[in-house]
Structure formats: C-alpha cells, structure tokens
Chains A and B, each alone.
Chain A
Amino acid sequence: GAVVSQHPSRVICKSGTSVKIECRSLDFQATTMFWYRQFPKQSLMLMATSNEGSKATYEQGVEKDKFLINHASLTLSTLTVTSAHPEDSSFYICSATQLGAGEKLFFGSGTQLSVL
C-alpha cells in the first residue's frame, strides 16, 4: 500500500516552455504533498508544501510564479515549471503524507527535467 506515482519520469524540453509534473497517491488520501528539488549529489531541497484545496506554502527563495503548484484533490498534486530555463534542469520529487498515518512520508519516483 501507500504508493505515490509521479509522471513523467524524465522530460526534455526547450527553453521557454512549461512543464507539468504530476504526483498521485494511488491507494490513499494524501493530506499533504511536498515538492523537492535535488541537484546531483546534494540533499533534497524542499520547495513547497501543498494542502488539498488551499494555496501552497513555498520555501524561502522559491519563486511561486515560476513553480506553480496545484493540489486539486486528496490524490493529486501538480508542479508546473513555467517558462523553463536551463538552470531549472534538476531532479524533482514529490512526497505525500497519508491521512491518519502521521508524518510518514511516501515518495514518488521523481522526474528528471532537462531544459535545452
């Protein structure tokens, strides 16, 4: 149980385009979903926390107009990288906490974004 599905696993796009990444909890309701970014050999960096039906809370230094997060239901959160540039190339991963399971995190499989 407690599977988090993240798509796509890899995306290559041209500079200036927007990319949407989906994070779905397949068999549970996720009260909260988190979006992270990771540069090679570095720790996960929390970008934002999203709660269903409310605006996401962004960490300091993360541009909310560039990284749009939508958490439309208890099973789906999306991260849209708008007007992507090469410096946005990174590994993005989501995690979710399960309703009633406390703080336990379940991770998606991540998305490798490459912006040309």
Chain B
Amino acid sequence: GQQVMQIPQYQHVQEGEDFTTYCNSSTTLSNIQWYKQRPGGHPVFLIQLVKSGEVKKQKRLTFQFGEAKKNSSLHITATQTTDVGTYFCAGGGSYQLTFGKGTKLSVIP
C-alpha cells in the first residue's frame, strides 16, 4: 500500500533559523496536503498541492511538490516561536489519504 515517509521526526532550531521538513511517497500522488498541529491542538489544514513541480508560498512558508509527484517539502524562513508544533504531510491517492508521521518543530527563543 501507499506509504509516506516524513523526515526529520524532530527538529530544534534557534529562532530566526530556517526549517525544512520533507515527505516522500512510495507511489505517485494525486495531491499532497500539509497540516500544522499546535501543542494541545489538532491538525489544521495549511495547503494542498496538486500540480507537478508546484510551488506555493504563505508568508514565510514555502511548499513544493516534486516533478514526479512523489515528494514534497515545507520550508519555513526565519522561524518564530509561533511556528512551534508538528507539521504533517498527507499524500492523496485513490480514495486514500496517507499521513506522514510528522515533524515536531521546537524553536528556541
């Protein structure tokens, strides 16, 4: 079945440093979604990428979908303490949404 690997599992950064989390799928995806889970909260939808090679930006967040539609990345520029949380990718296939295990981001002020 479809598997989505997400790395790293944990990341500690100094405030102001950049952060990137990566997702790789075992199969070609129809789309990829990114979620953020704040401490004590539940995953909140950030964005969905559909097209091969697509790049989308939300303020300091940059999302990329690979040309082969099998990998994706989320990059945060100049992290802030408000960025703390766990970031999940979720790969969409036929009647399926497969979540990665998430990357927990800690930001040291």
B99 contacts partner chain A, Cβ-Cβ < 8 Å = yes
A9 and B95 within 8 A (CB): yes
B52 contacts partner chain A, Cβ-Cβ < 8 Å = no
Instruction: Return B54 CB to nearest CB of chain A, in Å.
Output: 15
> A42's closest neighbor in chain B, by CB?
B45
Interface string of B78-97 (1 = CB under 8 A from A): 00000000101010000111
Note all chain B residues with C-beta closer than 8 A to A38.
97
Interface string of A25-60 (1 = CB under 8 A from B): 000000000101010011110100000000000000
Note all chain A residues with C-beta closer than 8 A to B88.
105, 107
B44 contacts partner chain A, Cβ-Cβ < 8 Å = yes
A87 contacts partner chain B, Cβ-Cβ < 8 Å = no
B86 and A104 within 8 A (CB): yes
Interface string of B33-47 (1 = CB under 8 A from A): 001010110111100
CB within 8 Å for A103 and B45 given contacts A38-B97, A91-B97: no
Could you tell me how many residues of chain B have their Cβ less than 8 Å away from some Cβ of chain A? Answer: 22
A105 and B37 within 8 A (CB): yes
B48 and A93 within 8 A (CB): no
B96 and A9 within 8 A (CB): yes
A10 contacts partner chain B, Cβ-Cβ < 8 Å = yes
Q: Name the one of A44, A103, A109 contacting B40, with C-beta atoms under 8 angstroms.
A: A103
CB within 8 Å for A41 and B95 given contacts A103-B39, A105-B43, A105-B102: no
Note all chain A residues with C-beta closer than 8 A to B70.
none
B97 and A110 within 8 A (CB): yes
A43 to B42, alpha carbons, bound, how many Å? 11
A44 and B43 within 8 A (CB): yes
A34 and B42 within 8 A (CB): yes
B1 and A41 within 8 A (CB): no
A91 to B99, alpha carbons, bound, how many Å? 14
- Known A2-B101, A10-B95, A109-B2; 7 more pairs at CB < 8 Å: A9-B95, A42-B45, A103-B37, A103-B39, A106-B101, A107-B88, A110-B96
